[in-house]
Structure 1
Amino acid sequence: MHERRSEEPLSVPPPPRGTIGSTRPPNDVRIGDFVYLDGAYQRVRDMRSAGTATHRVLIFAGREPWVMREARTTYRPIGLL
């Protein structure tokens, strides 16, 4: 059995097909964007304000909502650019 050593980088799968990645602040995320969480790309289905413009609650299908508090790489479908 192979154990991952701490100095080995985590393997991140390629982004969803037909998307372009960019580092975006929470107020620039859109419905339809993808965010990499817990080892998988999650598509934003809906979102809510978290009280400030610098925080967003992102809602996904099949996963609990997640609060985005800082800029993060998101992947936007080319058709939504």
Structure 2
Amino acid sequence: MFAKVKSTVFIDSLKFELTAPPPDTSLKAILRDDKGCVCSTLEAKMPARNNEVIWRGLNNLPYGVYTLELTQGQDEMKMKLVKRI
């Protein structure tokens, strides 16, 4: 597991803590709804200092259950999240 989400419940942003990110790589994130449709995407360079990425602007999504797909280089992970009002 190369990333930890600070909370599995979100309102308008998601905060990731990256564990030992390799230099010069990027993080790709896809947020899918319960039907599998892509609702939002994010691609970010690895932060140089604090190993944290904040994904803002998610307040327009309807509340419900989402699947977060993260990719960093060859590593991939998925997790379930809940969007609150």
Whether the TM-score (by the shorter chain) exceeds 0.5 is no
Normalised by the length of structure 1, the TM-score is: 0.29
Query: Quick check: which one's strand share is greater?
Result: 2
Query: Quick check: which one's helix share is greater?
Result: 1
Who wins on radius of gyration, i.e. which is larger? Answer: 1
